[in-house]
Structure 1
Amino acid sequence: MFQLQALCKEAEPQSFREVQIIKLTNGSVVAASVAEYSYLNNETQIQFINNELHGVLTDILNTTSNLDKISQAFNNSSVTLDQITFPPPEINNITNLEPYVNCSGFANYTAIVTNGRWQCVGHCKTNPNYCNQHGECLNDIRKGPICRCFESSLHQYYGPQCEFYRRGPGFYGALFGSLAGVLLLLIVIVIAIYAKKKYTGVWKRSNSFNRRLPAFEEDFFDFTDSAYHNLGMKDPYLSEAFRPHLGNVDNQLQVKTGHPDLLDINP
């Protein structure tokens, strides 16, 4: 029994379950046994059991060394393999296993075939747009799909499926900072324009004053003879006491000579 079980398991270790002796006949010992294999959730193994297991198991049981092992179990009696029969397959491919697949133990999970296997897949995989591409979708086997919404200092998404949007605090900080910068720049420009206009006005008045000053000096501070003459004034710095007016001198005066040192003038 144990020898036969080991040989049957060698044919397909993963799907082998057990060997049962169902009948013994007296005389030459005839043992009818049944080896049970299960269909696994794998398309490759299903095809192997249906199409290849018969030949592999036959080759193993017909090997002389393996028959000797069975013979030892029957007191070294001669053992031969009579026949191996396989019933018609109950499962032809992976899709025939669908009635046996159950995902009810997982919230919002669906059974689908992936890479030749039945799998219970969460809603995040069957509906990639569940979080509206604004968050990470996580499958909770008890609660179902959960969205972890994206957040940053500028943008924030929220809601059960990240369907809502609001500005982050960083956005308003950047906005008001930019407005403050623009306002400061405008103030600097206005001050620069005002200072330039003021400087230009002072420069023009200075030039006008400088242009008037020479004329003023020439007209009002020229104390030369010509200036007083032009104004109809007498020069106060020139005393007429030292200017002889020949018009008042009698040119008929008689000069008496007597004393050479005296000049007698009679008007």
Structure 2
Amino acid sequence: MTSSKSTSATPVTTRAPAKTVTTTQTPTNFLSSRTTSTTTQMITQSRLTTTPGTCVNGGTWIQDRCLCPSGYSGDRCELRKTRCQNGGQWDGLKCHCPKTFYGPRCEFAVEQVELDTVDAEVGMEVSVQQDFTSELNDNTSEAYMNFRKTFQNQMQKIYQNVQGFKDVKILSLRNGSIVVDYLVLLELPFSVQMESTYENVKTTLKKELQNASQDQDNCQNNQALCFKPDSIKVNNNTKTELTLEAICRRAAPQSYEDFYFPLVEKNKLRCVTNCTSGVDGAIDCNQGQCFLERSGPSCRCFFTDTHWFSGPRCEVAIAWKALVGGLVGAGALLLLLVAPSVFVVCSRSRRKNGQGRGGSLDNDTRWLEMWDENTVGTFTNSGFEDDRTVKEENFHVDLENVDTSMKVYIQRPEMAMSSL
């Protein structure tokens, strides 16, 4: 990996700070002025199990189940709960973040990465004068691991004086004596002539191995590997791209590579973003702070005791009093808009109810209009006409004097339907 120093944020208050020209800004709680409290360790209880057993990851077996420490779950506390993002590691109290992320949960990408050295790789191939066995096909076999250890130790001695050399890594072993495909891992000091330096190192690696392969006395030692001088090759298929843009893409946080660009200062490379203060194209968030999202740089606005800031660049300042007054005014306006509608609905409801009662009055009126005192078989009672109430003393039918032979003619009443 590239040796680098990442610039991340350090805590400050949530009130709008004075503008600065430093290359870092500070994370802020944008919802309240209270800082995030430290997560306390809690004990979680796993599901009930019927078979007694051993709890892992610090769990304790009590009666018929495991009691798991914070961060673990499962019947045996074998499942790890992920609290930290972007590869952060939880230690029971907080997240330890990779160098390219920061925040309580490692949720924020750093705004810039500073590089003093650059990682590089050189692919090589060499044949060892030794019989190949089938066990060397299995990288978990004892023969393979012994060969790998011997090869790495010998290569470290051969390459110890090569600029930037760190280690070697075996990629594969093939038949043909023993053909070794391997990588030489480098850490080169950064300079604007990185590609030229890289090519010189490749030449030096091949030369050093050729010199070691011609040392016949060393090959007589059973503890040393003998290399065939004519088998040494440099594999250009694994060449490391060392343009400034390529270096920054490799150094940038994963999934954020498109937002970093190189800025050279003396013998140091800075991979910066539009959230980095003081660079061309830097975003001015005014009363806010620039954060690098997966979709790109964006502003998150501050608030103070007297103002709240909004807008794409936090350029709009709204006084709390004005905001509260606006909300009250909006509520009053909404009430004025809704009140007429409610009044209309209530009026229509009352009108419908009145029409229902009016239908009964209309029916009574029609009965009176149809009454004819000259028609045989009809009768009236003044009590209905006076005050619309039944007066029992005025309503009496003498059934004993009724002539049952007389025909009675009754006018069929008309029915009027009314909606309720």
TM-score range, shorter chain: 0.3 to 0.5
Bigger-Rg structure (1/2): 1
TM-score, length-scaled by structure 1: 0.39
Give the number of the structure whose residues are more often strand, by fraction: 2
**Under a length normalisation based on structure 2, what TM-score does the superposition of the two structures give?**
0.27
Relative contact order: is structure 1 or structure 2 higher (C-alpha 8 Å, sep ≥ 6)? 2
